[in-house]
Structure 1
Amino acid sequence: MHHLRYSGLAFDEQRAAFLGIVAADPLLNETLARVRDLALPDWLVVSGALYNSVWNHLTGKPPGYGIKDVDLFYFDDADLSYEAEDAVIRTAARHFDGLTLPVEVRNQARVHLWYPEKFGQDCPKYRNASESISFFASKTHAVGVRFDDGGELDLVAPFGLDDIFSFRITPNRAMDNRRTHEAKGARARECWPEISVVPW
Structure 2
Amino acid sequence: MPVARLPLDEQLTALRTTLSRNETLLEILERTAALGLPNWYLTAGCLFQTIWNTVTDRPPTHGIKDYDVFYHDATDLSWEAEDKVIRAGREAYAGLPAEVEIRNEARVHLWYEEKFGTPCPPYDSVEAAIDSFAATTCCLAVRLKEDGSWRVYAPHGLSDVFGLVVRPNPVLAPREVYETKTARWRETWPELTVLPWPTPAAT
| Fold shared per TM-score above 0.5 | yes
Q: Is 1:100 aligned to residue 92 of structure 2?
A: no
Q: Distance in 2 between matches of 1:9 and 1:180?
A: 31
**Counterpart position of 1:155:** 152
1:65 is aligned, of 49, 58, 62, to: 62
Unmatched tracts of structure 1, length 5 or more: none
Q: How does 1:32-43 map to 2 (within 5 A)?
A: 32-43=29-40
- Which residue identity lines up with residue 106 of structure 2 in the other structure? A
Q: Helix, strand or coil for the counterpart of 1:171?
A: coil
Alignment of 1:139 onto 2:136 = yes
Give the ranges of 4+ consecutive aligned residues of structure 1 lying more than 6 Å apart after TM superposition. none
1:111 aligns with 2:114: no
- Structure 1 residue 22: Cα displacement: 1.3
Describe the SS at the equivalent of 1:89.
helix
Partners of 2:61 and 2:89 lie apart in 1 by: 20
**Alpha-carbon distance between aligned partners in 2 of 1:153 and 1:62, rounded to the nearest angstrom:** 23
Residue 89, structure 1, aligned to residue 75, structure 2: no
Q: Does 1:186 align with 2:176?
A: no
In 2, Cα distance between equivalents of 1:177 and 1:170: 14
* Residue 174 (structure 1) aligned with residue 164 (structure 2): no
State the number of aligned residues: 197
Alpha-carbon distance, 1:24 to partner: 3.5
Unaligned runs of 5+ in 2: 198-203
Check if 1:23 corresponds to 2:20: yes
TM-score of the superposed pair, with normalisation by structure 2: 0.93
Inter-partner Cα distance in structure 2 for 1:121 and 1:66? 29
Q: TM-score, normalised by structure 1?
A: 0.94
